[in-house]
Amino acid sequence: MEQIKNLITALQQCIPELETAPLYANLPVNIEQYSVLEWLYEHLAEQNLMVYEEWTEYSGYIPELKPLDNVFLSEEPADFIFTLIEKIDWSTASIDPYELPYIMPWFEHINFYLKPHGVRLVDLTPFENAYILCLRDDKESLEKLLSSLATFGIGINERHVMDQQQVSDNIESMISE
């Protein structure tokens, strides 16, 4: 269980407002990937530090996570992406419109607005749907968390920042491939 304790330490460094006592009090039954994922989700969701979203139902809104409670954004990041989606000529697009929820750079664009606040949205991999966290935007602590999670076959989709031009270029590239 030393691996779990290392993970808790890494989580504490990365997740604002994390209370570690509940994690230590109720360790996972084993260190298999899905046991660790269930344990993480149970304890982090209880603290409003992780949410689960099915990609088919996610449309770019900012998740209700405790570290974002006091963050005010000057605009809704998803609105810009929706204006780009509305302009797509589907008769010439190389992707199926049903693929959009899976490939849109929602978090990357939200992270552009979150960067001045020192946090970013990420999701855990390699799972079909999104387990979303808000982490401190600190490379060193993120690397420690990545290393700790890798022990259990879990990764992080880091979701690097994309401004409006980068989002526009990304979407244009996706639909014209």
Reported confidence tier of residue 93, pLDDT bands at 50, 70, 90? confident
Q: Is the pLDDT of residue 149 over 70?
A: yes
The arithmetic mean of pLDDT across residues 81-87, rounded, is: 92
pTM for the model stands at 0.93
Can you give the pLDDT at residue 177?
66
Q: Measure the CA–CA gap between 33 and 134, rounded to whole angstroms.
A: 21
Can you give the pLDDT at residue 101?
80
Q: Which domain holds residue 104?
A: 2-175
Q: Is the pLDDT of residue 10 over 90?
A: yes
Contact 149, 8 (CB under 8 A): no
Average pLDDT of the residues of the chain? 94
Q: Tell me the per-residue pLDDT of 11-51, one tens digit each, with 9 for 90 and over.
A: 999 999 999 999 999 999 999 999 999 999 999 999 999 99
For the chain, the domain total comes to: 1
DSSP string, 81-146: HHHHHHT--TTT-SS-GGGHHHH--HHHHHHHHHGGGTEEEEEEES-SSEEEEEEE--HHHHHHHH
Q: Is the pLDDT of residue 62 over 80?
A: yes
